[in-house]
Chain A
Amino acid sequence: MKLAYLVLENKEVFEADSLNFIEGCGEVVFNTSHSGYEEIATDPSYFNQIVVMTSPMQGNYGSHPEQWESDKIYIKGFICLKMQNSDRDKHFLNQLSQSQVGVFENIDTRQLVFKLREWGTVLGAMVLASSKQEAIEKSLIQFEKYKNQNQDVDWVYKVSTPEIMIEPGENTSGPKVVVIDFGSKKNILKEVKKLSSEVVIVPSRTPYESILSYQPKAIILTNGPGDPADVKMVTQTLSHLIGQVPIFGVCMGHQILALALGGKTYKLKFGHRGANHPIEDLILKKIYVASHNHGYAVAKESLPQGVQVTHINLNDQTVAGIYNKEKKYLSVQFHPESCPGPHEARQLFEYFFKEMVT
């Protein structure tokens, strides 16, 4: 009989039960949200990642495709202590299986989180094998394959829209907006549409001339997967747009904006993923809890003069947002569009459109 193992790159092995006998390899990250497994699984930012949910019981409330953050499941694997799997309701499990996403349960996720916290984010392979030894051997092949496939790959380009899409907004008197898509969550588009008359969604490698040809009143940079330093072309594109058009960035958008401004990004030891991180917001003059999902952050000391740090993650004092009044840009590391997670930061969209877009 085949047993299920999660093998980490540093040879740590966790035994588990596989619920769909699907294998997978990717970066292992953990998320501390109590709810929101569907939004997480369909968030393109989790592209290629194996997500460990710290909340032990998952799939409890079934599946609601209307709440998905994209049209498909992006995660590579899903790990929890116990998955809802009854005759009445195994919808979420089924959806993961249909998308060829491996699901492991019966794994001491807390111990796994401790290890991830200790070593930082590592590669992991979810494999089926008849012994631990076999599992390790299998995983070595997978790691090799993964690395070959993902060397210097621009993930953002992979998940970005392949073609330009023009969609109507809900506010007829609002501005026309270009969204540079790095793998956007639906809710960013939803929030933007509420406030604009027309939304032009463009691929990440769209040249600035083409963007300007739409005569946008604002540019939105979305979330997206992977290392911001691997993203090709966008920083150059942005250098032509900063100061020309008001820019609002979210997560990957924030990181790329910082890079375009001359700043640097670095990999956090184990990232911020959850719905409970406190943010001090000097723009809205509030402290609130926000939804987080990022493995990289902007290095504060790398930011050139004129870039104001307006948002701080109060847990570790990392940069959570930057702003410049004259050059009209604002970007945040967390997710003001929420989903999953709290709504308090949604006001930032309104602030940007009201105060920074003319």
Chain B
Amino acid sequence: MIKNKNDELMINDVKKILIIGSGPIVIGQACEFDYSGTQACKVLRQKGYQVILVNSNPATIMTDPELADRVYIEPLEPEYIEKIIQIERPDSIMATLGGQTALNLGLALHKQGILTKYNVRLLGSSPETIELAEDREKFRDLLDTIGASYPQSFMVRTFEQAMAVPQQLGLPLILRPNFTLGGGGGGIAYSLEEYQTMIARALNESPTSEVLVEQSILGWYEYELEVMRDKAGTSVVVCSIENIDPCGVHTGDSITVAPQQTLSDYEYQLMRDEAFKIAEKVGLQTGGANVQFAVHPESRKRVVIEMNPRVSRSSALASKATGFPIAKIAALLAVGYTLDKITNEITGTTPSCYEPALDYVVTKIPKFAFEKFVGTRDILGTAMKSVGEVMCIGRTMQESLMKALCALEADAEGIPDVFFQVDFLTYPNSQRVFHLFQAFRHHFSIDQVYDWTGIHRYFLEQIKEIVDFETIIKQSPDLTHEILLKAKRYGLSDARIAKLRSSSEDRIFKNRQALNVHPGFEQVDTCAGEFASETPYYYSSYWSSRRVAPQLSRSLAILGSGPNRIGQGIEFDYSCVRASFAAKKNGYSVIMCNSNPETVSTDYDTSDALFFEPLTVEHINEVFLFVNPEGFVAQFGGQTPIKLLFPLVARGWKNKGSSGHTVALAEDRTLFADLCDKMGFLIPPSGIAGYLEEGLNVAQKIGYPLIARPSFVLGGRRMEVLENEEELKSYFHRHFDVISEAQPCYLDYFLEGALELDVDLVSDGETVLIGGIMEHIESTGVHSGDSMAVLPPQRIKPDSLEKIKDISIRLSKALDVKGLLNIQFALKNDQIYIIEANPRSSRTIPFISKALQRPLVDWAVQAILGHSIKPFEKELENTNPFICVKGVVFPFRKFADADSVLSPEMKSTGESMGRAMHFSEALMKAMISSHIKLPHSGEIFFSLRDKDKQEMLDVAKSLIKMGYVLSATTGTAKFFNEHGVTTLALKKVHEGRPHCVDRIRSGEIKFVVNTTRGRKAITDGFLIRRACIELNIPCLTKTETVQAFLMALDSLKSNTFQVAPL
């Protein structure tokens, strides 16, 4: 350990810091690390440090060129970081702000001697600390030395060792693989059979093949403390967090409240002492850490679950919940500041060596995407599965919980009636909270529900009280002031009250207005009102009577994108944050409204006034009534604010930028088709059908293949390619619940094999600037969010590109776009088709902005504010020699039994950027950054449908030439061998053992090519793909991806790569 005196000296040497980001968004590691990295960059540069940033994720604010002195978008792998170190020669690396990815990378740099070689030190946590906290065995020894308890467990390294454990600890057992993200590969085994399958997977998942098999603490109450520590040893708990879901559900998947509500001060202080001791013993030099505890409901025995010596997802939540900027302060502590020397920004007068006092309650609810992964059961366990989260603040637990339920954007009622099933309570799942409410509507007792769920009776009482009040609302003759105010204090939404009163949301709002029932607005001030605070960070509460609006001149409200979900994530937060900065530069005061605690947009210094509120008409309208903005902007936060546009305009608020008319024209399929017809633009032939017979008629008219989708979709939900009548029938059969004459299904002709392009442009109504054109690598049939893509396009003829630009400009004018427009094109046989147009920010905006260094959002803000964008036209002339490839990251490993075959339904969680002078190198980087293991040698397995065999023959030949060996299913092998490519034939699964899946599981195969389409073939290949997911072997399902993969392998084999800053 470094002595204090040396420490002082060391810290003074710090001048140039390399900050490592967290890479693509994956489950368990989302935009909270963009938030922490961005905070760190800002504050360190403010203090005069030189900051170099590396991240492979272009959709982040932190990778904006303004944020650091130099920004590298490169793979987060030791060899790439070494190159960057060579060029930049930083004296320090900060690896504690980029999640587990950055921490592991820091450790790898240390182990490979790179840190020593270049005389670079790790700030915050030392390699020893990282290992100590992450290595469960060492960590348990440490807990022994301070007398802390932990669940009994065994570390196993082999299957045989593992099989001895159940006899000693009994079942259920909890599996925790070492060194994995968000508990990946872990879980709870209830039976011996389950245990056998799960342990095999878990051993594989751990990079060190170590799994901790642990005694179950299911049903214990779970708590988490966020600790900050400086180099002098001063420690504070920034926030305590209590999980409503008891142990057994990953904390990222639990509904949580802050501060903790059910521990006595006596118990809480002992827990706090233990957290400090652990942080100290682990050797946390400076910065943030979180420690998780479990407490037995009756015996009150306390055990330590785990500790993370870094800024975490919970730190982001704790920062937003308390106003204490953990990442910013962690960065300052790492370079040698102490807590007492850092002013609390919120009060502006007191120091940061305090513990925030909350006079409100914060609730976080995770957002799930099970519906995207057909075949996966909606059951929660120790491996995290949620893709996003919402946070809301209320004066009581009830108010904050109910606001958060509204913020999920699942149902305007917040707590809709559901068809009650006990199973939904007994097994933790994404819908459990709604069934809790329903159980009380059915008059089940608190004790009964406690028996089913193990949720603390205190929380159950809070829920039951709300349900009891629903009855009063239903039965009272009039909605008096008293009843309405009480209902609102319980957090019941206007829509829910309307449902209970058989009224409409609008009428309830008018009732409230007539009786003057509006929320007050309070500030998050870190001190429960003890000191005056000017920081404009607000939340609404019906318990509050305070309505002192911030003094804002020319205020513009920006509506955020709410919780991350598949299809709407960090890319939209990027746009909102950029828009906020741009509007501020234009002299506007920005009011930010969002409910997502992971984001940069909900940092209180991103805007002039931050409102942490659900993105619903009701809540945003109340914010607007309070601040009375000059206008609002709905086009940066994705589909969420677009949906709010019409109702907010209907309530009299002024929308800035593209109008509702533009949105309607682009979104209504019929209107849009008419417009395209009139303009002479091609769109794929299409029809609509409310029932099967109608569908068959449409099919007859336009022919197969068809692409089918229900009327209201997000991220390609329930979209499928239908090859024939049988599949059409099956589609209507399987989706009968969402297709009706009122909500018909769209059937478009599917342009098989067409190239797809994304165009993002900015228009002020006069000038149209084409921001960039991205070419998808996979052909049509793969959702644009799931497709790899390249900028500039590689396979499109120049005159086609010119035509596309021309169509884009004319379309944007016809739609009267003010601001951003995203258009998707398909190109087949030199014909250009428009697939769809969205008059809003898109997922590709940040990618294009980074790749071409064009501030598209800033331009859009100019247009929205009524300025001409003509002056920026000349910036389009700046050429950029780099080729940028978008890589994609999928969460299949988190969802047992989900298929990895790509389809029109989006399934990816994140993206990466590969940036290089050559296409192949860019491809390689994008794949490495997307966690695809590129093999240098070994066996490659093919399972192809007949029509792809000829095309793949060349690929096979190239692979042989590059030194790989091939194997294939019987038919494919026969074809290859007949054409002179030596291929080992393997049995298909139904042909008996040993078969190809056995071989994949043996680890012999390095990657798999499995092209397939049609429901039957998809089922056949499922076991192959699933084996690949579990063993983390690349499995390519599209011919274009295979070709790209080949180019990447080629680049890999050449063993050269460059790194370059933006």
A residues near B (Cβ < 8 Å) are 30, 32-36, 38-39, 54-57, 60-61, 64, 67, 81-82, 84, 86, 88-89, 108-111, 113-114, 117, 274-278, 280, 286-289, 314-315, 338-343
A-B pairs, 7 with minimum CB distance:
A36-B265, A54-B528, A340-B265, A32-B357, A35-B265, A113-B529, A276-B355
Of B240, B353, B395, which is within 8 A of A34 by CB?
A: B240
User: Which residues from chain B contact A289 at a C-beta distance below 8 Å?
Assistant: 236, 353-355
Closest to B233 in A: A286
Asked whether A32 lies within 8 Å of B527 as measured between CB atoms, the reply is: yes
Closest to A272 in B: B530
Asked whether A88 lies within 8 Å of B446 as measured between CB atoms, the reply is: yes
Asked whether B269 lies within 8 Å of A338 as measured between CB atoms, the reply is: yes
Known contacts A88-B446, A110-B544, A314 near B395 by CB under 8 Å: no
Asked whether A57 lies within 8 Å of B397 as measured between CB atoms, the reply is: yes
Asked whether B351 lies within 8 Å of A278 as measured between CB atoms, the reply is: yes
Known contacts A34-B357, A276-B357, A278-B353, A57 near B396 by CB under 8 Å: yes
Closest to A108 in B: B545
User: Which residues from chain A contact B794 at a C-beta distance below 8 Å?
Assistant: none
Asked whether A67 lies within 8 Å of B395 as measured between CB atoms, the reply is: no
Known contacts A56-B395, A109-B359, A286-B234, A35 near B353 by CB under 8 Å: no
Closest to A114 in B: B529
Asked whether B233 lies within 8 Å of A67 as measured between CB atoms, the reply is: no
Closest to A109 in B: B359
> In angstroms, how far is the closest chain B Cβ from the Cβ of A149?
30
> In angstroms, how far is the closest chain A Cβ from the Cβ of B135?
29
User: Which residues from chain B contact A108 at a C-beta distance below 8 Å?
Assistant: 543-546
Cα distance, A113 to B360, chains bound together (Å):
14
Asked whether A276 lies within 8 Å of B264 as measured between CB atoms, the reply is: no
Known contacts A287-B340, A289-B353, A32 near B395 by CB under 8 Å: no
User: What are 18 A-B contacts with C-beta separation under 8 Å?
Assistant: A30-B529, A34-B240, A54-B529, A56-B396, A60-B458, A64-B264, A110-B522, A110-B528, A110-B544, A117-B532, A275-B357, A276-B354, A278-B353, A286-B233, A288-B234, A315-B351, A339-B266, A341-B265
- Is B475 on the interface with A (CB-CB < 8 A)? no
Asked whether A57 lies within 8 Å of B529 as measured between CB atoms, the reply is: no
Asked whether B359 lies within 8 Å of A342 as measured between CB atoms, the reply is: no
Known contacts A34-B358, A113-B530, A276-B357, A339 near B395 by CB under 8 Å: no
- Is B515 on the interface with A (CB-CB < 8 A)? no
Asked whether B265 lies within 8 Å of A39 as measured between CB atoms, the reply is: yes
User: Which residues from chain B contact A56 at a C-beta distance below 8 Å?
Assistant: 359-361, 395-396, 543
Asked whether B261 lies within 8 Å of A60 as measured between CB atoms, the reply is: yes
Q: Is the interface of B mostly helix, strand, loop or mixed?
A: loop
> In angstroms, how far is the closest chain A Cβ from the Cβ of B604?
19
Of A67, A114, A314, A341, which is within 8 A of B353 by CB?
A: A314
User: Which residues from chain A contact B414 at a C-beta distance below 8 Å?
Assistant: none
Known contacts A34-B358, A55-B359, A111 near B262 by CB under 8 Å: no
Asked whether B264 lies within 8 Å of A61 as measured between CB atoms, the reply is: yes
Give a binary string over B233-268; 1 marks a CB under 8 Å from any A CB, 0 the rest.
110100010000000000000000001111111101
Asked whether A315 lies within 8 Å of B350 as measured between CB atoms, the reply is: yes
Which of B350, B530, B546 lies at the interface centre, i.e. has the most chain A CB atoms within 10 A of its CB? B530
Which of B355, B531, B532 lies at the interface centre, i.e. has the most chain A CB atoms within 10 A of its CB? B355
Asked whether A35 lies within 8 Å of B461 as measured between CB atoms, the reply is: no
Closest to B395 in A: A56
Asked whether B269 lies within 8 Å of A342 as measured between CB atoms, the reply is: yes
> In angstroms, how far is the closest chain B Cβ from the Cβ of A117?
7
User: Which residues from chain A contact B232 at a C-beta distance below 8 Å?
Assistant: 286-287
Cα distance, A38 to B267, chains bound together (Å):
13
Closest to A35 in B: B265
Asked whether A277 lies within 8 Å of B395 as measured between CB atoms, the reply is: no
Asked whether B354 lies within 8 Å of A315 as measured between CB atoms, the reply is: yes
User: Which residues from chain B contact A39 at a C-beta distance below 8 Å?
Assistant: 265
Cα distance, A108 to B397, chains bound together (Å):
15
Name the interface residues of B511-554: CB closer than 8 Å to any CB of A.
522, 527-532, 543-546
Cα distance, A111 to B354, chains bound together (Å):
23
> In angstroms, how far is the closest chain B Cβ from the Cβ of A91?
12
User: Which residues from chain A contact B359 at a C-beta distance below 8 Å?
Assistant: 32, 54-56, 109-110, 113
Asked whether B356 lies within 8 Å of A276 as measured between CB atoms, the reply is: yes
Further 19 A-B residue pairs, CB within 8 A, beyond A108-B546, A278-B340, A340-B269: A30-B530, A32-B530, A39-B265, A57-B396, A61-B262, A61-B458, A108-B544, A109-B359, A110-B395, A110-B522, A111-B544, A111-B545, A113-B528, A114-B529, A117-B532, A278-B350, A288-B234, A339-B265, A342-B355
Of B269, B340, B395, which is within 8 A of A341 by CB?
A: B269
Cα distance, A61 to B267, chains bound together (Å):
11
> In angstroms, how far is the closest chain B Cβ from the Cβ of A263?
25
Asked whether A57 lies within 8 Å of B265 as measured between CB atoms, the reply is: no
> In angstroms, how far is the closest chain B Cβ from the Cβ of A156?
25
> In angstroms, how far is the closest chain A Cβ from the Cβ of B355?
4
User: Which residues from chain A contact B265 at a C-beta distance below 8 Å?
Assistant: 33, 35-36, 38-39, 67, 275, 339-341
Cα distance, A82 to B461, chains bound together (Å):
13
User: Which residues from chain B contact A110 at a C-beta distance below 8 Å?
Assistant: 359, 395, 522, 528-529, 544, 546
Asked whether B350 lies within 8 Å of A314 as measured between CB atoms, the reply is: yes
- Is B273 on the interface with A (CB-CB < 8 A)? yes
Asked whether B353 lies within 8 Å of A81 as measured between CB atoms, the reply is: no
Cα distance, A339 to B357, chains bound together (Å):
17
User: Which residues from chain B contact A54 at a C-beta distance below 8 Å?
Assistant: 357, 359, 528-530
- Is B339 on the interface with A (CB-CB < 8 A)? yes
Name the interface residues of B541-569: CB closer than 8 Å to any CB of A.
543-546
User: Which residues from chain B contact A64 at a C-beta distance below 8 Å?
Assistant: 264, 266
Cα distance, A197 to B745, chains bound together (Å):
86
Cα distance, A39 to B261, chains bound together (Å):
16
- Is B979 on the interface with A (CB-CB < 8 A)? no
Asked whether B543 lies within 8 Å of A61 as measured between CB atoms, the reply is: no
User: Which residues from chain A contact B360 at a C-beta distance below 8 Å?
Assistant: 56
Of B262, B353, B543, which is within 8 A of A287 by CB?
A: B353
Cα distance, A124 to B272, chains bound together (Å):
35
- Is B377 on the interface with A (CB-CB < 8 A)? no
- Is B457 on the interface with A (CB-CB < 8 A)? yes
Of B263, B350, B351, B528, which is within 8 A of A55 by CB?
A: B528
Cα distance, A110 to B396, chains bound together (Å):
13
Closest to A116 in B: B529
Cα distance, A89 to B273, chains bound together (Å):
28
> In angstroms, how far is the closest chain B Cβ from the Cβ of A124?
17
User: Which residues from chain B contact A38 at a C-beta distance below 8 Å?
Assistant: 264-265
Cα distance, A57 to B397, chains bound together (Å):
8
User: Which residues from chain B contact A339 at a C-beta distance below 8 Å?
Assistant: 265-266
> In angstroms, how far is the closest chain B Cβ from the Cβ of A160?
26
> In angstroms, how far is the closest chain A Cβ from the Cβ of B395?
5
Name the interface residues of B436-483: CB closer than 8 Å to any CB of A.
446, 457-458, 461
User: Which residues from chain A contact B349 at a C-beta distance below 8 Å?
Assistant: 315
> In angstroms, how far is the closest chain A Cβ from the Cβ of B468?
11
Of A57, A276, A315, A341, which is within 8 A of B261 by CB?
A: A57
Asked whether B350 lies within 8 Å of A35 as measured between CB atoms, the reply is: no
User: Which residues from chain A contact B354 at a C-beta distance below 8 Å?
Assistant: 276-278, 289, 314-315
User: Which residues from chain B contact A280 at a C-beta distance below 8 Å?
Assistant: 340
User: Which residues from chain A contact B236 at a C-beta distance below 8 Å?
Assistant: 289
Which of B234, B340, B446 lies at the interface centre, i.e. has the most chain A CB atoms within 10 A of its CB? B234
Asked whether A35 lies within 8 Å of B351 as measured between CB atoms, the reply is: no
Cα distance, A288 to B545, chains bound together (Å):
35
Give a binary string over B64-95; 1 marks a CB under 8 Å from any A CB, 0 the rest.
00000000000000000000000000000000
Of A57, A113, A341, which is within 8 A of B361 by CB?
A: A57
Of A61, A89, A277, A278, which is within 8 A of B263 by CB?
A: A61
